[in-house]
Chains A and B, each alone.
Chain A
Amino acid sequence: MHFASWAFLLFLAVLVPVYYLVPKRIQWIVLLLANAVFVGFAGWLGAVFMTVTITTVYAASRGIDALILRQRKTLAAMKATHTKEERKKTRLRFEKRRRAVLIACLVVNFGILFVLKYGAMIGKLSAELFHTREFGADLALTMGISYYTFSSVGYLVDVNREELFAEKNPCKLALFISFFPLLVQGPITRFETVGKALLSPHVFDGRRFLSAALRIAWGFWKKLIVADRLLVAVLALCGAPGTYRGGFVLVEMLLYAACLYADFTGGIDIAIGVGELLGVTVEENFRRPYFSKSISEYWRRWHITLGEWFKRYVYYPLSVSKPMRALSKSTRRIGAGVSRRVPVYLSTILVWALTGAWHGSNLTFLIWGLLNGLVILASEELKPVYARFHARFPRLTASAFYRGLAVIRTVLLLSSLRILDCYSTVGEAFSAFGSLFTTWNWGQVAAGIPSLGLAASDYAIALMGVLLMFAVSMAQRKGAIRERIQRRGTVASVCVLLLLIGTILLFGRYGFGFDASKFVYSRF
């Protein structure tokens, strides 16, 4: 069941009234059943993997919780009778056992993810290298596995860090892991917020319902009117790297930037909106990312929950880990600066390599991740240069013009990096990017744009869509736009909602002959 399907809308139309009509104490059970239906529609294999995750994470979290309890009791009992050293030894013994449980669970869950993400690639590589029969060609990610695995692992680590008590009821944990709006493309959530909100009773609120409907409609609007339209041209451009070079590559970069934004933020708007329909507040995943003035700022505003996850569960623990501290210490004799930078650099590079790997098995993603890391580190290194420039030209750098230039530079830079996402090999991507500077073919570009599978009316609609998205983002700087619409009254909200629905029905790319089922980020 895909978001952009009548089945999903029917599913919501049945679920929402039932959810609010049943007694509040069983609302979460209704939701759990809804999750089961949603997962069931995606196929039995996905259900099996999800069951494995739920079972292992539940067992591990309960095991860790029990160990924590025993650790506390033991240490309390030892307080009067044992030395500090002995108590430390005991604590470390317990922590080691907890870590073993944690690692075992991580191996199982990341193992499944790894096999599904990289199985086909490994099979192909092994066949090429060892001339064996290719295996794993039919391995594919099941719905939402990248997202719920990360959310589940986050929960387990939080339990191990004693920031959370393990959920005693496995069904309640299953509710968090399988919460259906988040299975298509996230966001990656935390039990602390979403898990608890899911278990709380919810009363129907007309205002919230309307607000959620507006957000869902806006998500569909971006997806069906802008993203799916631009995707046709993007696929045409990416599909013929030998033909579309030079200026076409710039067009592709910009179209892809708009397409990906509309697709990903659209899907997230639908997910968050559906959560809101059910009274569950889900973490935001974007904060007007294309208004960022640097790549590092961009990554704090784009796919926020993935960035936060890596920061919280990989970057921070890694940069303060024992080996990293030892490495930092060992480089102290080279210089204080080097010693300070080593943990930061290594952790950053590793996190970006993992971020790249998370996106896919293709080498292009790994290179894309590493390049992002390098750009961020380079920006860090150049900070003193920027500071001097700002100090020298304070009026210029404070101007809207300069800020605008910084925004455009960032969009161009991230679009250049994203080119790796468009091609199947690193060579093709670099060659295409290089052609930007070697092939001057703007005449061909102007003549070739109409042959990319879109009619003039499609370009006009997409342009209007992009301008509207831009205007909405601008307006959001002054506060949440839906709140401002709702402040104008119910009639105004209903008018906007109907206008969105009407334009989707008329200009959306859906129905016979169109495939609106996939979101770009659902493949990651």
Chain B
Amino acid sequence: MRKKLLTIGGVLLCCIVFFGALYALSRLVAPKYREALIEGHLTGEYYDEETDHDVLFVGDCEVFEHFSPVVLYNEYGITSFIRGGAQQLVWHSYYMLLDALETETPKVVVFNVLALKYGAPQSEAYNRLNLDGMRWGGAKIGAIRASMTDGEDFLSYVFPLLRYHDRFDKLTAEDWRYWFSDGEPVSFKGYIMHTGVKPATKTPTPPALSDPRLPETSMAWLEKLAALCEEHGITLVLIKSPSIEPYWYPEWDAEIASFAKSRGLRYYNMMDGSETGVDLSTDTYDQGQHLNVIGAEKLTRWFGGILKEEFGLRDHRGEAAYDADYAALSVRYEAEKQRLSEGME
């Protein structure tokens, strides 16, 4: 009997050590997204939020590099968070919102329509950037199922070691430093700051469209997104953030405008700089694809005015919890702006 108990105990101990080691190794080899590909850290940062938000932005790089929640609060008292990610496709955005609805119900959801050009999963790498940081639940499961490309398997999302085991020989100091700690956020409520200036000098020459319509799949997801917002009493706002590439075709624009009209939604095409004040000869860090902090702040100021006037969002300034939160964030925001402006970017 004693021998049997010892054996069971020994086996249990082996298993505990084994699974403990696997967990530790899994954390070690998983990308940390702290110094390179920091967009991968965005999804997880949402869960550190202690206050709720009136506005949630969902979409791709044209939201997380084009809107500054700090400016939105400091100038209009609007609380917001950007649940955006690199090449975040429309179904990613749908599930990001579904996930957020578990804990809060924003008044307005702003969706950038550029991602609608993709009707099918594009790349495993972008799936990982967007989904790895999501907390487990129905939304994450749905997002994974909707996003997997050929060769991907669900199990590797559950056990990241199965995906990242081949990184054991590519580990960097970052992996060891953030092995068991997440460290400071890389964003400012989902906004990633860039301060460089690289003007847009060329006029895009887009290839002719073989089909002028946006993919049916992505439009179906947009329908679902609209229905989800409607179901929760949220106002969905569609936007097209300013950029010259990827090219946004007039045919697509007309289709979105028509969709918005048919669903009673507001659609703002912000490509015209004379309205927003964004000047792509100074306000972009990569020749017109994304905005730098000057452009993002201009765009946020303009859009904040619309949010305030058109959707009657409350000014939360003066409310202790928000003030404290945004004051601390503003300090970090300004420090980062200073650091980057000093040429450290």
Contacts of A491 in B (CB 8 A): 7, 10-11, 14
Q: How far is the CB of B128 from chain A (nearest CB, A)?
A: 9
Judged by a CB distance under 8 angstroms, whether A45 is at the interface is no
CA distance A513 to B153 in the complex (A): 11
Complex CA–CA separation, A510 to B25 (angstroms)? 17
Chain B, interface residues (CB within 8 Å), range? 20 to 34
Q: Are B14 and A513 in contact (CB under 8 A)?
A: no
Determine whether the beta carbon of A512 is less than 8 Å from that of B151.
yes
In the complex, whether A494 has a CB less than 8 A from a CB of chain B is: yes
In this complex, what residue of B is CB-closest to A461?
B169
Complex: how many Å from CA A506 to CA B162?
Answer: 8
* CB–CB B124/A512 < 8 A: yes
Whether a CB of chain B sits under 8 angstroms from the CB of A480 is no
Task: For B11, give the chain A residue with the smallest CB separation.
Answer: A494
Give, as a whole number of angstroms, the nearest-CB distance from B19 to chain A.
Answer: 9
Kindly state whether residue A136 has any CB partner on chain B within 8 Å.
Answer: no
CB contact list, A403-420 vs B, under 8 A:
none
Residues of A within 8 A of B124 (CB): 512
Which A residues lie within 8 Å of B70 (CB)?
none
Contact of A502 with B151 in the complex, beta carbons under 8 Å: no
In the bound complex, do residue A498 and residue B165 qualify as a contact, i.e. CB atoms below 8 Å apart? no
Q: Is B161 an interface residue (CB 8 A)?
A: yes
Q: Mark A493-514, 1 if CB is under 8 A from B, else 0.
A: 0110010011001111111111
Encode A442-472 as 1/0 by CB contact (under 8 A) with B. 0000000000000101000000000000000
In the complex, whether B166 has a CB less than 8 A from a CB of chain A is: yes
Cβ-defined contact, A502 with B21, below 8 A: yes
List, in ascending order, chain B residues with CB within 8 A of A495's CB: 14
Q: Which residue of A lies closest to B26 (CB)?
A: A505
- Partner of A512 from the list B22, B152, B169 (CB cut-off 8 Å) is B152
Contact status A505-B22, CB under 8 Å: yes
B150-176 Cβ-contact flags toward A at 8 Å (1 or 0):
011101100001110110110000000
Q: Which of B111-125 touch A at CB < 8 Å? A: 124
Q: Which residues of B contact A505 (CB under 8 A)?
A: 22, 161-162, 165
Which partner residue on chain A sits nearest B7 by CB separation? Answer: A490
Closest A residue, CB atoms, query B168: A506
Q: Is the CB–CB distance between B155 and A6 below 8 Å? A: yes
Chain B residues contacting A494 (CB-CB under 8 Å) are: 10-11, 14-15
User: Which of A6, A489, A501, A506 is within 8 Å of B165, CB to CB?
Assistant: A506
Cβ distance A223 to chain B, nearest Cβ, rounded Å: 15
Q: Which residues of B contact A510 (CB under 8 A)?
A: 162
Q: How far is the CA of A509 from the CA of B163 in the complex (A)?
A: 10
Q: Which residues of the other chain, B, contact A507 by a CB distance below 8 angstroms?
A: 165, 168
Q: What CA separation (Å) do A330 and B168 show in the bound complex?
A: 69
Contacts of B152 in A (CB 8 A): 512
The answer on a CB contact under 8 Å between B169 and A498 is: no
Contact B7 A457, beta carbon cutoff 8 Å: no
* Complex Cα–Cα for A505 and B29 (A): 12
Query: Is B18's beta carbon under 8 Å from chain A?
Result: yes
Query: CB-CB < 8 A to A513: which residues of B?
Result: 151, 166
Known interface pairs A498-B18, A502-B18, A505-B22; A512-B163 also in contact (CB < 8 Å)? yes
Known: A455-B169, A502-B18, A502-B21. A511 touches B10 (CB 8 A): no
Are A498's CB and B161's CB within 8 A?
no
Residue from the set B10, B15, B21, B124 with the largest chain A CB neighbour count within 10 Å: B10
CA distance A514 to B162 in the complex (A): 12
A7: nearest chain-B partner, CB-CB: B153
Which B residues are closer than 8 A to A by beta carbons?
A: 7, 10-11, 14-15, 18, 21-22, 25, 124, 151-153, 155-156, 161-163, 165-166, 168-169
What would 18 more interface pairs be, CB under 8 Å, given A457-B168, A494-B11?
A: A455-B169, A457-B169, A490-B7, A490-B11, A494-B14, A494-B15, A498-B18, A502-B18, A505-B22, A506-B161, A507-B165, A507-B168, A508-B165, A510-B162, A511-B162, A511-B163, A511-B166, A514-B166
* 25 pairs, A vs B, C-beta closer than 8 Å: A6-B153, A455-B169, A489-B7, A489-B10, A490-B7, A490-B10, A491-B7, A491-B10, A491-B14, A494-B11, A494-B14, A494-B15, A498-B15, A505-B22, A505-B161, A505-B162, A505-B165, A506-B165, A510-B162, A511-B156, A511-B163, A512-B124, A512-B151, A512-B153, A514-B166
The 5 closest A-B pairs by CB, nearest first: A491-B10, A457-B169, A498-B18, A494-B11, A490-B7
Where the two chains meet, the residues of A that have a C-beta atom closer than 8 Å to any C-beta of B are: 6, 455, 457, 489-491, 494-495, 498, 501-502, 505-514
